[in-house]
Amino acid sequence: MTTSVTVLGLGLMGSALAEALLKDGRTVTVWNRSRGKAEPLVAKGAVEAESAEAAVSASPLVIVCLSVYANAEEVLGGAAAGRTIVQLTNGTPRQARAMAGHVAGLGARYVDGGIMAVPPMIGRPEALILYSGDEEAFEEHRETLAALGGARFLGSDPGLAPLVELALLDAMYGMIAGFQHALALVRSEKVAATEFAPMATAWLTAMMGTLPQQARAVEAGDFATSVSSIATSQVAFPGLIETSRDQGVDPGYLLPLRALLDRAVAEGHGEDGLARLITLLERPAG
């Protein structure tokens, strides 16, 4: 078990990470560019390092939660040799792979991570945190990382954790955007948002049951359907866009999906189920 941990970066998320480690009985060294942010954690038992280099030197496990990856490269400096660096800064797969190379050059091991939680959830099992990179390093520190939330290791490619994190955010933003557009539609006729929300919640919950089916379809390459075809959606979709315009609601969110449906039909996939659209997204037009 890792008893000593360093946390670099004390924004809302970094502070939550450090506090969870303190509650789990770890010795926590903290550092932040602006020193005042460390005071609440010091009051709870954390040790504030005088510099980023001193903070990195203090612990075998260094958790980085800064605003951007470039800041991590700057603060790690030359003190990282022999350490395990766990990067929990939000970034891209390309940035994660580049950071892994940078950390290896410093003589350290690297694990990237993606936090699927908000700060108040940190330290609870439902706070899912995705990890990828050096598996041996992850396993060595798994028990410590579990103090932050549910820890899920995805593989040795350090780009996997940020990729899956961004994909999950992609699904979330698509759902939220659809719900918000739907609310704008019904509010155009003075339907109360609070009246519509339970109907939308029940409908979306039912539709979420189709997601595993779509996953199986795209993995098997079998897009046959007895429920609703792409052609059926293509015929119905212009009415949704027309209604949006009639009601004074911006249809911009819908237009790319209409173009994708049109493309699928033009390529001969009209009788397939909607899961076929995944393969078109994997092969962008043009």
- Tell me the average pLDDT of the chain: 95
**Which of the four pLDDT bands, split at 50, 70 and 90, describes residue 1?**
low
Q: In whole angstroms, how far apart are CA 284 and each of 138, 187, 275, 277? A: 36, 35, 16, 11
d(CA 188, CA 247): 6
Ramachandran class of 89: left when φ > 0, alpha when ψ lies in -120 to 50, beta otherwise: beta
Residue partners of 115: CB distance under 8 A and separation at least 6: 13, 88, 90, 122, 127, 129, 130, 149, 165
d(CA 139, CA 111): 11
3-state secondary structure of 157: coil
Task: Check whether 13 has a pLDDT greater than 80.
Answer: yes
Percentage helix, strand, coil for the chain under 3-state DSSP, each rounded to 5: 55, 15, 35
Cβ atoms of 109 and 83 within 8 Å: the answer is: yes
Task: Check whether 273 has a pLDDT greater than 80.
Answer: yes
Right CATH for 4-156 from 3.90.550.10, 3.20.20.140, 3.10.450.50, 3.40.50.720:
3.40.50.720
Percentage of residues of the chain with pLDDT beyond 70: 99
The CATH homologous superfamily to which domain 164-281 belongs is N-(1-d-carboxylethyl)-l-norvaline Dehydrogenase; domain 2 (1.10.1040.10)
How many CA atoms, within 13 angstroms, populate the side-chain half-sphere of residue 130? 24
According to DSSP, residue 247 is labeled T
Q: Give the start-to-end residue ranges of the domains of the chain.
A: 4-156, 164-281
Residue partners of 214: CB distance under 8 A and separation at least 6: 273, 274, 275, 278
Q: Strand 128-133 relative to strand 109-116: parallel, antiparallel, unpaired?
A: antiparallel
pTM: 0.92
- H/E/C letters for each residue in 264-280? HHHCCCCCCECCHHHHH
* 70-89 residue pLDDT tens: 788 888 877 789 999 999 99
Percentage of residues of the chain with pLDDT beyond 90: 89
Cβ atoms of 22 and 40 within 8 Å: the answer is: no
3-state secondary structure of 30: strand
Looking only at Cα atoms, what is the longest distance across the chain? 66
* 241-265 residue pLDDT tens: 999 999 999 999 999 999 999 999 9
Task: Check whether 26 has a pLDDT greater than 80.
Answer: yes
Rg value, the chain, Cα: 23
* pLDDT of res. 3: 86
**Nearest-CA neighbor of 117 among 125, 108, 109?**
125
Cβ atoms of 138 and 153 within 8 Å: the answer is: yes
